[in-house]
Structure 1
Protein backbone atom coordinates (compact mmCIF):
# COMPACT_ATOMS: atom_id res chain seq x y z
CA UNK A 1 0.00 0.00 0.00
CA UNK A 2 1.27 3.48 -0.77
CA UNK A 3 0.45 6.51 1.31
CA UNK A 4 -1.15 9.70 0.03
CA UNK A 5 -1.57 13.26 1.12
CA UNK A 6 -3.74 16.02 -0.23
CA UNK A 7 -2.71 19.51 -1.15
CA UNK A 8 -4.80 22.52 -2.03
CA UNK A 9 -4.13 24.68 -5.06
CA UNK A 10 -1.59 26.74 -3.14
CA UNK A 11 0.51 23.62 -2.49
CA UNK A 12 -0.21 23.32 1.22
CA UNK A 13 -0.82 19.80 2.50
CA UNK A 14 -4.24 19.45 4.11
CA UNK A 15 -4.42 15.81 5.17
CA UNK A 16 -2.71 12.47 4.81
CA UNK A 17 -4.38 9.14 4.32
CA UNK A 18 -4.09 5.66 2.90
CA UNK A 19 -4.90 5.17 -0.77
CA UNK A 20 -8.21 3.50 -0.06
CA UNK A 21 -11.31 5.63 0.71
CA UNK A 22 -12.49 2.85 3.00
CA UNK A 23 -9.48 3.11 5.27
CA UNK A 24 -9.23 5.74 8.03
CA UNK A 25 -7.15 8.87 7.74
CA UNK A 26 -3.67 8.69 9.16
CA UNK A 27 -2.72 11.16 11.85
CA UNK A 28 -1.12 14.28 10.37
CA UNK A 29 2.69 14.13 10.48
CA UNK A 30 5.35 16.67 9.48
CA UNK A 31 6.74 14.27 6.85
CA UNK A 32 5.42 12.20 3.94
CA UNK A 33 3.70 8.94 4.74
CA UNK A 34 4.09 5.97 2.44
CA UNK A 35 4.56 2.27 2.02
CA UNK A 36 7.37 -0.02 0.94
CA UNK A 37 7.46 -2.75 -1.65
CA UNK A 38 10.57 -4.77 -2.59
CA UNK A 39 12.97 -2.11 -1.34
CA UNK A 40 11.15 0.77 -3.03
CA UNK A 41 9.28 3.52 -1.26
CA UNK A 42 6.05 4.56 -2.97
CA UNK A 43 4.56 7.99 -2.35
CA UNK A 44 1.45 9.56 -3.77
CA UNK A 45 1.13 13.34 -4.05
CA UNK A 46 -2.42 14.59 -4.41
CA UNK A 47 -3.21 17.44 -6.83
CA UNK A 48 -6.18 18.68 -8.84
CA UNK A 49 -8.68 15.82 -8.46
CA UNK A 50 -11.68 15.23 -6.28
CA UNK A 51 -11.03 13.27 -3.08
CA UNK A 52 -14.38 13.19 -1.40
CA UNK A 53 -13.33 10.78 1.35
CA UNK A 54 -10.75 13.36 2.47
CA UNK A 55 -13.19 16.22 2.33
CA UNK A 56 -10.95 18.07 -0.11
CA UNK A 57 -12.51 19.62 -3.18
CA UNK A 58 -9.48 19.77 -5.44
CA UNK A 59 -6.76 17.18 -5.39
CA UNK A 60 -5.40 14.36 -7.49
CA UNK A 61 -2.42 12.07 -7.51
CA UNK A 62 1.10 11.67 -8.82
CA UNK A 63 2.80 8.50 -7.68
CA UNK A 64 6.54 8.56 -7.10
CA UNK A 65 8.82 5.59 -6.52
CA UNK A 66 11.94 6.48 -4.56
CA UNK A 67 14.93 4.28 -3.65
CA UNK A 68 15.08 3.35 0.01
CA UNK A 69 18.21 5.49 0.44
CA UNK A 70 16.29 8.64 -0.44
CA UNK A 71 13.68 8.23 2.30
CA UNK A 72 13.79 11.05 4.77
CA UNK A 73 14.82 9.78 8.19
CA UNK A 74 14.22 11.14 11.62
CA UNK A 75 16.83 13.82 12.33
CA UNK A 76 17.99 12.10 15.50
CA UNK A 77 18.60 8.88 13.55
CA UNK A 78 20.68 10.76 10.99
CA UNK A 79 22.85 12.36 13.66
CA UNK A 80 23.31 9.15 15.64
CA UNK A 81 24.16 7.06 12.57
CA UNK A 82 26.53 9.51 10.88
CA UNK A 83 30.20 8.55 10.71
CA UNK A 84 33.27 10.33 9.37
CA UNK A 85 34.07 8.00 6.49
CA UNK A 86 37.54 7.32 5.11
CA UNK A 87 36.81 4.34 2.84
CA UNK A 88 34.53 4.84 -0.16
CA UNK A 89 33.30 2.57 -2.94
CA UNK A 90 35.19 3.78 -6.01
CA UNK A 91 32.77 2.01 -8.35
CA UNK A 92 29.79 4.14 -7.39
CA UNK A 93 29.44 7.76 -8.44
CA UNK A 94 26.85 10.49 -8.09
CA UNK A 95 25.04 12.26 -10.90
CA UNK A 96 25.26 16.01 -11.26
CA UNK A 97 21.58 16.09 -10.32
CA UNK A 98 22.32 14.30 -7.03
CA UNK A 99 25.21 16.65 -6.30
CA UNK A 100 23.04 19.68 -6.99
CA UNK A 101 20.35 18.27 -4.70
CA UNK A 102 22.81 17.93 -1.83
CA UNK A 103 24.08 21.47 -2.25
CA UNK A 104 20.55 22.86 -2.51
CA UNK A 105 19.79 21.35 0.89
CA UNK A 106 23.09 22.60 2.28
CA UNK A 107 22.21 26.16 1.30
CA UNK A 108 19.16 25.99 3.56
CA UNK A 109 21.56 26.30 6.50
CA UNK A 110 21.25 29.47 8.59
CA UNK A 111 23.59 32.43 8.21
CA UNK A 112 23.87 35.82 9.87
CA UNK A 113 21.20 38.17 8.43
CA UNK A 114 20.57 35.37 5.89
CA UNK A 115 23.64 36.65 4.05
CA UNK A 116 24.31 33.14 2.67
CA UNK A 117 28.03 33.95 2.51
CA UNK A 118 29.25 30.61 1.23
CA UNK A 119 30.50 29.05 -1.97
CA UNK A 120 30.67 25.33 -2.81
CA UNK A 121 32.90 23.68 -5.39
CA UNK A 122 32.04 20.07 -6.28
CA UNK A 123 35.22 18.22 -7.26
CA UNK A 124 34.00 15.18 -9.17
CA UNK A 125 36.15 14.55 -12.25
CA UNK A 126 39.36 12.44 -12.03
CA UNK A 127 41.45 15.38 -13.19
CA UNK A 128 40.00 17.78 -10.64
CA UNK A 129 40.33 15.20 -7.86
CA UNK A 130 44.04 14.84 -8.58
CA UNK A 131 44.50 18.60 -8.46
CA UNK A 132 42.79 18.71 -5.09
CA UNK A 133 44.72 15.71 -3.76
CA UNK A 134 48.08 17.34 -4.38
CA UNK A 135 47.13 20.32 -2.18
CA UNK A 136 45.44 18.13 0.45
CA UNK A 137 48.30 15.86 1.54
CA UNK A 138 47.34 13.17 -1.00
CA UNK A 139 44.43 11.95 1.09
CA UNK A 140 43.04 8.87 -0.75
CA UNK A 141 39.39 9.56 -0.03
CA UNK A 142 39.50 12.64 -2.28
CA UNK A 143 39.99 10.34 -5.26
CA UNK A 144 37.91 7.45 -3.90
CA UNK A 145 34.73 9.33 -2.94
CA UNK A 146 32.17 10.15 -5.60
CA UNK A 147 32.67 13.87 -4.98
CA UNK A 148 34.62 16.10 -2.63
CA UNK A 149 33.13 19.48 -1.82
CA UNK A 150 35.27 22.51 -1.13
CA UNK A 151 33.20 24.56 1.32
CA UNK A 152 34.12 28.23 1.35
CA UNK A 153 32.94 31.17 3.40
CA UNK A 154 32.96 34.59 1.77
CA UNK A 155 34.36 37.75 3.34
CA UNK A 156 32.59 41.12 3.30
CA UNK A 157 29.22 39.41 3.36
CA UNK A 158 27.56 42.74 4.17
CA UNK A 159 28.32 43.98 0.66
CA UNK A 160 26.19 41.25 -0.88
CA UNK A 161 23.48 41.39 1.77
CA UNK A 162 20.98 43.59 -0.14
CA UNK A 163 20.93 41.11 -3.04
CA UNK A 164 20.61 38.14 -0.65
CA UNK A 165 17.73 39.72 1.30
CA UNK A 166 15.72 41.18 -1.57
CA UNK A 167 13.80 37.93 -2.35
CA UNK A 168 12.54 37.90 1.26
CA UNK A 169 11.15 41.40 0.75
CA UNK A 170 9.58 40.50 -2.58
CA UNK A 171 7.89 37.44 -1.06
CA UNK A 172 6.54 39.49 1.84
CA UNK A 173 8.55 37.59 4.44
CA UNK A 174 10.23 40.70 5.81
CA UNK A 175 9.18 44.33 5.50
CA UNK A 176 11.27 46.91 3.70
CA UNK A 177 11.98 48.61 7.03
CA UNK A 178 13.50 45.37 8.35
CA UNK A 179 15.56 45.07 5.16
CA UNK A 180 16.92 48.59 5.62
CA UNK A 181 17.66 48.02 9.31
CA UNK A 182 19.52 44.75 8.72
CA UNK A 183 21.61 46.19 5.90
CA UNK A 184 22.58 49.16 8.08
CA UNK A 185 23.39 46.91 11.03
CA UNK A 186 25.52 44.56 8.93
CA UNK A 187 27.46 47.47 7.44
CA UNK A 188 28.16 48.77 10.92
CA UNK A 189 29.25 45.36 12.22
CA UNK A 190 31.47 44.14 9.39
CA UNK A 191 32.79 47.15 7.49
CA UNK A 192 36.49 47.54 8.25
CA UNK A 193 36.50 44.60 10.70
CA UNK A 194 38.48 41.92 8.88
CA UNK A 195 38.67 39.56 11.86
CA UNK A 196 34.91 39.60 12.32
CA UNK A 197 34.39 39.09 8.59
CA UNK A 198 36.62 36.03 8.63
CA UNK A 199 34.92 34.68 11.75
CA UNK A 200 31.56 35.05 10.00
CA UNK A 201 32.86 33.36 6.85
CA UNK A 202 34.04 30.33 8.84
CA UNK A 203 30.78 30.20 10.83
CA UNK A 204 28.62 30.26 7.72
CA UNK A 205 30.77 27.74 5.86
CA UNK A 206 30.68 25.39 8.87
CA UNK A 207 26.89 25.54 9.12
CA UNK A 208 26.63 24.87 5.39
CA UNK A 209 29.06 21.96 5.70
CA UNK A 210 27.22 20.27 8.56
CA UNK A 211 23.89 20.63 6.76
CA UNK A 212 25.43 19.05 3.66
CA UNK A 213 26.72 16.08 5.70
CA UNK A 214 23.27 15.49 7.19
CA UNK A 215 21.71 15.78 3.73
CA UNK A 216 24.13 13.15 2.46
CA UNK A 217 23.37 10.87 5.42
CA UNK A 218 19.66 11.19 4.73
CA UNK A 219 20.20 9.92 1.18
CA UNK A 220 22.12 6.83 2.20
CA UNK A 221 25.53 8.39 1.57
CA UNK A 222 28.55 8.78 3.82
CA UNK A 223 30.70 11.85 4.32
CA UNK A 224 34.17 12.61 5.57
CA UNK A 225 35.14 16.18 6.54
CA UNK A 226 38.78 17.25 6.15
CA UNK A 227 40.81 20.22 7.35
CA UNK A 228 44.09 18.78 6.06
CA UNK A 229 44.76 20.96 3.02
CA UNK A 230 46.79 23.95 1.94
CA UNK A 231 44.33 26.88 1.73
CA UNK A 232 46.56 28.87 -0.61
CA UNK A 233 47.01 25.81 -2.82
CA UNK A 234 43.26 25.17 -2.95
CA UNK A 235 42.63 28.81 -3.79
CA UNK A 236 45.21 28.66 -6.58
CA UNK A 237 44.05 25.36 -8.10
CA UNK A 238 40.36 26.29 -8.09
CA UNK A 239 40.62 30.00 -8.86
CA UNK A 240 39.13 31.26 -5.60
CA UNK A 241 38.93 35.01 -5.21
CA UNK A 242 40.59 36.86 -2.34
CA UNK A 243 37.20 37.04 -0.58
CA UNK A 244 36.57 33.26 -0.73
CA UNK A 245 38.02 31.37 2.25
CA UNK A 246 38.21 27.55 1.99
CA UNK A 247 37.00 26.32 5.38
CA UNK A 248 36.91 22.54 4.90
CA UNK A 249 36.68 19.72 2.42
CA UNK A 250 33.91 17.11 2.57
CA UNK A 251 34.21 13.80 0.74
CA UNK A 252 30.82 12.25 -0.08
CA UNK A 253 29.99 8.88 -1.57
CA UNK A 254 29.02 5.31 -0.75
CA UNK A 255 30.82 3.90 2.28
CA UNK A 256 32.71 0.62 2.37
CA UNK A 257 32.17 -1.77 5.32
CA UNK A 258 35.65 -1.22 6.78
CA UNK A 259 34.89 2.28 8.03
CA UNK A 260 35.02 2.79 11.78
CA UNK A 261 31.67 3.15 13.54
CA UNK A 262 30.83 6.44 15.17
CA UNK A 263 33.43 7.02 17.87
CA UNK A 264 32.36 7.57 21.51
CA UNK A 265 31.71 11.14 22.61
CA UNK A 266 32.48 12.89 25.87
CA UNK A 267 29.99 12.50 28.69
CA UNK A 268 27.26 15.12 28.54
CA UNK A 269 28.26 16.50 31.94
CA UNK A 270 31.65 17.42 30.45
CA UNK A 271 30.20 19.63 27.75
CA UNK A 272 26.86 20.87 29.13
CA UNK A 273 26.28 23.52 31.79
CA UNK A 274 22.73 24.21 32.87
CA UNK A 275 22.22 27.67 34.40
Structure 2
Protein backbone atom coordinates (compact mmCIF):
# COMPACT_ATOMS: atom_id res chain seq x y z
CA UNK A 1 0.00 0.00 0.00
CA UNK A 2 1.40 3.41 -0.86
CA UNK A 3 1.56 6.18 1.70
CA UNK A 4 -1.28 8.28 0.31
CA UNK A 5 -3.61 5.28 0.22
CA UNK A 6 -2.71 4.37 3.81
CA UNK A 7 -3.45 7.94 4.94
CA UNK A 8 -6.75 7.92 3.08
CA UNK A 9 -7.86 4.53 4.38
CA UNK A 10 -6.69 4.85 7.99
CA UNK A 11 -9.78 5.22 10.14
CA UNK A 12 -10.52 4.93 13.84
CA UNK A 13 -12.08 1.49 14.16
CA UNK A 14 -13.92 0.52 17.35
CA UNK A 15 -14.92 -3.12 16.71
CA UNK A 16 -12.27 -5.86 16.49
CA UNK A 17 -12.05 -9.61 16.20
CA UNK A 18 -11.15 -10.69 19.77
CA UNK A 19 -9.87 -14.06 18.53
CA UNK A 20 -7.22 -12.64 16.22
CA UNK A 21 -3.66 -12.57 17.50
CA UNK A 22 -0.66 -10.81 16.03
CA UNK A 23 2.60 -12.71 15.82
CA UNK A 24 5.66 -11.47 17.65
CA UNK A 25 7.27 -10.91 14.27
CA UNK A 26 4.39 -8.62 13.28
CA UNK A 27 4.58 -6.71 16.56
CA UNK A 28 8.34 -6.26 16.18
CA UNK A 29 7.91 -5.04 12.60
CA UNK A 30 5.17 -2.59 13.57
CA UNK A 31 7.17 -1.07 16.42
CA UNK A 32 10.51 -1.10 14.58
CA UNK A 33 9.04 1.02 11.80
CA UNK A 34 7.31 3.24 14.35
CA UNK A 35 10.71 3.93 15.89
CA UNK A 36 11.77 5.63 12.65
CA UNK A 37 9.48 8.54 13.58
CA UNK A 38 11.11 11.94 14.00
CA UNK A 39 11.83 13.32 17.46
CA UNK A 40 13.27 16.58 18.76
CA UNK A 41 17.09 16.31 18.96
CA UNK A 42 16.67 12.61 18.08
CA UNK A 43 15.94 11.97 21.75
CA UNK A 44 13.29 9.31 21.00
CA UNK A 45 11.21 10.23 24.04
CA UNK A 46 8.58 7.59 23.32
CA UNK A 47 8.19 4.35 25.20
CA UNK A 48 5.75 1.75 23.86
CA UNK A 49 4.12 -0.26 26.62
CA UNK A 50 2.56 -3.34 25.00
CA UNK A 51 -0.11 -4.74 27.31
CA UNK A 52 -0.46 -8.51 26.86
CA UNK A 53 -1.71 -9.69 30.26
CA UNK A 54 -5.47 -10.36 29.79
CA UNK A 55 -6.29 -9.46 33.40
CA UNK A 56 -4.43 -6.18 33.13
CA UNK A 57 -6.14 -5.37 29.86
CA UNK A 58 -9.51 -5.99 31.49
CA UNK A 59 -8.63 -3.60 34.32
CA UNK A 60 -7.48 -1.00 31.79
CA UNK A 61 -10.76 -1.48 29.92
CA UNK A 62 -12.63 -0.74 33.16
CA UNK A 63 -10.55 2.45 33.52
CA UNK A 64 -11.47 3.31 29.90
CA UNK A 65 -15.22 3.50 30.45
CA UNK A 66 -15.57 -0.12 29.31
CA UNK A 67 -14.62 0.55 25.70
CA UNK A 68 -14.52 -2.88 24.06
CA UNK A 69 -11.56 -2.19 21.76
CA UNK A 70 -9.22 -2.11 24.76
CA UNK A 71 -9.58 -5.86 25.23
CA UNK A 72 -10.89 -6.99 21.82
CA UNK A 73 -8.13 -5.56 19.61
CA UNK A 74 -5.12 -7.76 18.98
CA UNK A 75 -2.72 -5.24 20.47
CA UNK A 76 -2.95 -2.50 23.10
CA UNK A 77 -0.06 -0.05 23.03
CA UNK A 78 0.20 2.62 25.70
CA UNK A 79 2.40 5.35 24.24
CA UNK A 80 4.30 7.03 27.05
CA UNK A 81 6.61 10.04 27.08
CA UNK A 82 9.88 9.83 29.00
CA UNK A 83 10.19 13.46 30.13
CA UNK A 84 13.78 13.03 31.30
CA UNK A 85 15.06 11.15 28.25
CA UNK A 86 17.07 14.25 27.31
CA UNK A 87 19.49 13.75 30.20
CA UNK A 88 19.76 9.95 30.14
CA UNK A 89 23.13 9.46 28.41
CA UNK A 90 22.31 11.94 25.62
CA UNK A 91 25.51 11.16 23.75
CA UNK A 92 23.93 7.87 22.63
CA UNK A 93 21.37 9.75 20.50
CA UNK A 94 24.17 11.02 18.27
CA UNK A 95 26.73 8.23 18.59
CA UNK A 96 26.77 7.55 14.82
CA UNK A 97 27.10 11.21 13.82
CA UNK A 98 30.43 12.83 12.91
CA UNK A 99 32.42 13.98 15.93
CA UNK A 100 31.84 17.73 15.31
CA UNK A 101 28.08 17.13 15.19
CA UNK A 102 28.20 15.19 18.46
CA UNK A 103 30.24 17.92 20.12
CA UNK A 104 27.71 20.56 19.03
CA UNK A 105 24.42 18.79 19.63
CA UNK A 106 24.88 16.94 22.91
CA UNK A 107 25.64 20.12 24.89
CA UNK A 108 22.80 21.84 23.02
CA UNK A 109 20.36 19.20 24.29
CA UNK A 110 21.46 19.74 27.89
CA UNK A 111 21.35 23.53 27.60
CA UNK A 112 17.91 23.54 25.96
CA UNK A 113 16.05 21.28 28.36
CA UNK A 114 17.73 22.14 31.68
CA UNK A 115 15.22 24.01 33.86
CA UNK A 116 12.78 24.13 30.91
CA UNK A 117 9.93 21.88 32.03
CA UNK A 118 7.52 23.27 29.45
CA UNK A 119 9.79 22.34 26.54
CA UNK A 120 10.56 19.02 28.20
CA UNK A 121 6.86 18.10 28.26
CA UNK A 122 5.84 19.66 24.95
CA UNK A 123 8.63 18.12 22.91
CA UNK A 124 8.11 14.69 24.44
CA UNK A 125 4.39 14.74 23.73
CA UNK A 126 4.91 16.04 20.19
CA UNK A 127 7.31 13.17 19.58
CA UNK A 128 4.73 10.69 20.89
CA UNK A 129 2.10 12.17 18.58
CA UNK A 130 4.30 11.72 15.53
CA UNK A 131 5.10 8.15 16.58
CA UNK A 132 1.39 7.40 17.03
CA UNK A 133 0.60 8.49 13.49
CA UNK A 134 3.50 6.45 12.13
CA UNK A 135 2.30 3.40 14.05
CA UNK A 136 -1.20 3.72 12.63
CA UNK A 137 0.02 4.09 9.06
CA UNK A 138 2.41 1.14 9.35
CA UNK A 139 -0.43 -0.95 10.81
CA UNK A 140 -2.64 -0.02 7.87
CA UNK A 141 0.07 -1.05 5.43
CA UNK A 142 0.29 -4.38 7.29
CA UNK A 143 -3.44 -4.96 6.86
CA UNK A 144 -4.52 -3.90 10.35
CA UNK A 145 -6.87 -1.25 11.64
CA UNK A 146 -6.26 1.04 14.59
CA UNK A 147 -7.84 3.49 16.97
CA UNK A 148 -6.04 6.22 18.92
CA UNK A 149 -7.54 6.71 22.37
CA UNK A 150 -7.45 9.24 25.15
CA UNK A 151 -10.78 8.23 26.63
CA UNK A 152 -9.53 6.73 29.87
CA UNK A 153 -8.61 7.65 33.42
CA UNK A 154 -4.95 8.60 33.00
CA UNK A 155 -4.16 8.41 36.71
CA UNK A 156 -5.79 5.01 37.15
CA UNK A 157 -4.05 3.57 34.08
CA UNK A 158 -0.78 5.02 35.34
CA UNK A 159 -1.25 3.11 38.59
CA UNK A 160 -2.13 -0.10 36.77
CA UNK A 161 0.97 -0.03 34.58
CA UNK A 162 3.29 1.25 37.31
CA UNK A 163 4.10 4.36 35.27
CA UNK A 164 7.48 5.84 36.31
CA UNK A 165 7.31 9.21 38.04
CA UNK A 166 9.04 11.07 35.20
CA UNK A 167 6.81 9.58 32.46
CA UNK A 168 3.49 10.76 31.05
CA UNK A 169 0.91 8.73 29.15
CA UNK A 170 0.31 10.29 25.74
CA UNK A 171 -2.41 7.97 24.40
CA UNK A 172 -3.37 4.41 23.61
CA UNK A 173 -3.29 2.87 20.17
CA UNK A 174 -5.23 -0.35 19.66
CA UNK A 175 -4.40 -2.50 16.63
CA UNK A 176 -6.34 -5.40 15.20
CA UNK A 177 -8.65 -6.90 12.59
CA UNK A 178 -11.86 -4.94 12.19
CA UNK A 179 -15.14 -6.81 12.33
CA UNK A 180 -17.07 -3.66 11.47
CA UNK A 181 -15.67 -0.80 9.42
CA UNK A 182 -15.59 2.76 10.67
CA UNK A 183 -18.52 4.96 9.78
CA UNK A 184 -18.23 7.37 6.86
CA UNK A 185 -16.16 10.44 7.62
CA UNK A 186 -18.40 12.66 9.67
CA UNK A 187 -17.51 16.02 8.18
CA UNK A 188 -14.11 17.18 7.02
CA UNK A 189 -13.59 20.94 7.15
CA UNK A 190 -12.86 22.62 3.80
CA UNK A 191 -9.24 23.29 2.88
CA UNK A 192 -9.76 27.05 2.79
CA UNK A 193 -10.91 27.05 6.43
CA UNK A 194 -7.87 25.28 7.85
CA UNK A 195 -5.04 26.49 5.61
CA UNK A 196 -3.82 30.04 6.23
CA UNK A 197 -1.03 31.70 4.28
CA UNK A 198 1.54 34.03 5.84
CA UNK A 199 -0.45 35.37 8.81
CA UNK A 200 -3.81 35.40 10.51
CA UNK A 201 -5.98 38.43 9.85
TM-score (norm 1): 0.68
Q: Which residue of 1 aligns with 2:84?
A: 156
User: SS of 2:15's equivalent?
Assistant: coil
Q: Are 1:201 and 2:130 matched, yes or no?
A: no
Q: Which runs of 5+ in 1 are unaligned?
A: 1-72, 169-173
Query: How well do the aligned residues superpose, as a CA RMSD in angstroms?
Result: 1.4
Deviates most, 133-142 or 80-89: 133-142
Q: Which has the bigger relative contact order, CA under 8 A and spacing at least 6?
A: 2
Q: 1:254 aligns with which of 177, 188, 192?
A: 177
C-alpha displacement at 1:258, in angstroms? 4.5
Q: Which residue of 1 aligns with 2:162?
A: 239
Q: Which residue of 2 aligns with 1:227?
A: 150
Q: Which runs of 5+ in 2 are unaligned?
A: none
Q: Are 1:93 and 2:37 matched, yes or no?
A: no
Q: 2:94 aligns with which of 162, 165, 170?
A: 165
For residues 194-230 of structure 1, the C-alpha deviation after alignment (integer angstroms, 9 at most, x for no partner) is: 1111111111111111100001000110000101122
Q: Are 1:111 and 2:39 matched, yes or no?
A: yes
Structure 1: how far apart are the matches of 2:159 and 2:135?
24
- Which structure is larger by alpha-carbon Rg, 1 or 2? 1
Q: Relative to total residues, which structure has the larger helix share, 1 or 2?
A: 2
Structure 2: how far apart are the matches of 1:123 and 1:135?
14
User: SS of 2:170's equivalent?
Assistant: strand
Q: Is the 8 A contact 1:82 1:262 kept in 2?
A: no
Q: Which runs of 4+ in 1 moved over 6 A?
A: none
Q: Is the 8 A contact 2:13 2:181 kept in 1?
A: no
User: SS of 1:256's equivalent?
Assistant: strand
Structure 2: how far apart are the matches of 1:235 and 1:163?
28
TM-score (norm 2): 0.92
